[in-house]
Amino acid sequence: MGEMARRRAWLIAWLCLLPAGLAAGEETQGADEVLSQADRIAELERTVQVLSEELARTRVEVAVPEDTLTSAWGFGPAASKVYGRDRGLSIGGYGEGFYTNYVADRGHGAGETLDRADMLRAVLYTGYRFNESIVFNAEIEFEHATTEATKSSGGGSVSVEFAALDFFWRPELNFRTGLVLLPVGFLNLMHEPPFYYGVNRPDVERVLIPSTWRENGAGIFGRLGETVQYTAYAVNGMNARGFSSSGIRGGRQNGNRALAEDLAFVGRVDWTPMPELLLGASVYAGESGQNQRVSLTAGGTTELPSAPTVLWEAHGQYESHGLHLRGLFTMTHIGDAGSLTQDLLASSEPGFSGAVAEGLLGGYGEVAYDVLPLLFPDTERFLAPFYRFEWYDTQWNMPSGFSANRSREIMVNTVGIQFEPIPNVVLKLDYRNRSAKEGQIPDEVNLGFGYAF
């Protein structure tokens, strides 16, 4: 066979095999395309699954409250939510409302004090964890349902109860600055309705310890070992122009363009030798005159005395197997009380009456017991009768030349019952008897509800 013939034979054979090769290539390419498309579909399905799980988790975290809220760094359980997050926004809150029926007491006509129903508070906690070291936490409170006055009462208010930045360094030493809650007593830090007994907060922690008490300041906090927790702040001092025969409550500045000529120190230590037992104490000390001058009704002005103010309290609590025991004792000393009273009486200070005492004294004790486990051992509901006794006197020790107003010495007996269908919701009923050394105060039947999330 010649060369030309051989080339012709190879060409014919190649042309015959070409269609088969093209067909095989098309089949391989088609199979690769089908496989690639299947991979893309599988990847999309995995992405949709991840997004669905994340959306469901976020919806539960935002919309559904936890079964059990946990306190952190001395705050109430709902106020502590941000500390449990790894990063980002936290929203919580609480609210409470009540109905009070005033009962005739020792000749006091029931018609002289009209019954009331009030949506007392609706509160939002907003927190943000920027990273593991920096946390912002705040409480915004709406009181009495509206800021508008009605025919029944004056308007309510909207307030920032606290707003602070925390800088975490180590468990033993951390830093906080902003509008801070003063770490004094039980209720000033932990005042969410499901976590204290009675429709009303204890009088001792409203009158002697002026809860809710907050001031602008900065300080440190931390935990020493497993059993000791402490807090210490420097804050702006109180304003003595607000002191009166009823106590120091009117001297709070609440972060509102607070005078800061005088500063104060406040510190607290809590010890938990066992999980069921808490023992602690706190002290507040600082001058309250703020270098102010007041106008005199006779003409001219005078500078208020420095009015050094020292408040201390000791507290204890035991909780185990449904039993709750709590006690608190507090005392306040006001220096220059006589001079302060004379200056305020001689001035045109609106609303001032009586005399500022040198010493204020009081305390309370309470006991409660959850009875439902006795009847239903596996129940998660809570039903506790309770009793609280209080005594306080805002005119306990008077400056020379002034006599005490005995209507300011008050004893309070409160008995009631508290029901929690779930840990975050509470229904309350109590009877409160308040009696003064002089004068009459009507008894009260109180119905209330509260929630936290």
Distance from C-alpha of 436 to C-alpha of 393, rounded to nearest angstrom: 10
| Full-model pTM | 0.83
pLDDT at 74: 86
For residue 42, the model assigns a pLDDT of 75
Contact 152, 97 (CB under 8 A): no
Q: Is residue 81 in a domain?
A: no
Q: Do residues 110 and 56 both lie within one domain?
A: no
Residue 3 has pLDDT above 60, yes or no: no
Q: Which residues pair with 426 in a beta bridge?
A: 450
Average pLDDT in the chain: 89
358 and 442, same domain (yes or no)? yes
Does residue 160 fall inside a structural domain?
A: no
* pLDDT over threshold 70, residue 8: no
- How far is it between the farthest Cα atoms of the chain? 145
- 25 pLDDT more than 60: no
Residue 285's φ and ψ, nearest 5 degrees, are: -150, 130
Quick check: 15 pLDDT over 70? Answer: no
104 and 42 housed in the same domain: no
Place of tokens 């009459």: 440
Q: Examine residue 284 and state whether it is found in any structural domain, yes or no.
A: yes
Give a yes or no: residue 125 inside a domain: no
Q: pLDDT at position 299, please?
A: 86
**Across 92-106, 151-165, 367-381, least confident range:** 92-106
What percent of the chain is predicted at pLDDT more than 90?
Answer: 77
Q: Is residue 4 part of a domain?
A: no
243 within a domain of the structure (yes/no): yes
Q: Is the pLDDT of residue 109 over 50?
A: no
Is 158 inside a domain boundary?
no
Task: Answer yes or no: do 54 and 106 share one domain.
Answer: no
* pLDDT computed for residue 111 by the predictor: 46
d(CA 186, CA 164): 20
In this model, does residue 14 exceed pLDDT 50? no
> CB within 8 A of 436, min separation 6: which ones?
406, 407, 408, 409, 410
Question: How far is 46 from 35, CA to CA, in rounded Å?
Answer: 17
- Quote the domain boundaries for residue 104: 99-117+172-452
Q: What is the domain count for the chain?
A: 2
d(CA 356, CA 252): 15
Q: What are 239-288's pLDDT values in tens digits? A: 999 999 999 999 999 999 999 999 999 999 999 999 999 999 999 999 99
> Which residues is 369 bridged to in the sheet?
323
pLDDT score at 352: 80
Asked if 374 and 389 count as a contact pair (C-beta separation under 8 A), the reply is no
Confidence of residue 438 (pLDDT cuts 50, 70, 90): very high
Contact 216, 179 (CB under 8 A): yes
Q: What is the pLDDT of residue 35?
A: 55
pLDDT attached to residue 107: 45
Residue 80 three-state SS: helix
Same-domain check for residues 60 and 179: no
Q: What is the pLDDT of residue 2?
A: 54
pLDDT mean over 376-404: 95
What whole-number distance in Å separates Cα of residue 267 and Cα of residue 255?
19
| CATH code: domain of residue 104 | 2.40.160.10
408 and 264 within one domain: yes
Q: Other C-beta atoms within 10 Å of 406: how many?
A: 13
Among 450, 431, 326, 453, which Cα is nearest to 382's? 450
- Model confidence at 26: pLDDT above 70: no
Tokens of 9: 């034979």
Report the pLDDT value the prediction gives residue 21, as an integer from 0 to 100. Answer: 47
12 within domain boundaries:
no
Q: What is the mean pLDDT of residues 93-101?
A: 97
Query: Range with the lowest mean pLDDT among 34-38, 350-354, 366-370, 375-379?
Result: 34-38
Across 43-69, average pLDDT: 63
| Same domain assignment for residues 373 and 417 | yes
- pLDDT over threshold 90, residue 6: no
User: Is the pLDDT assigned to residue 304 strictly greater than 60?
Assistant: yes
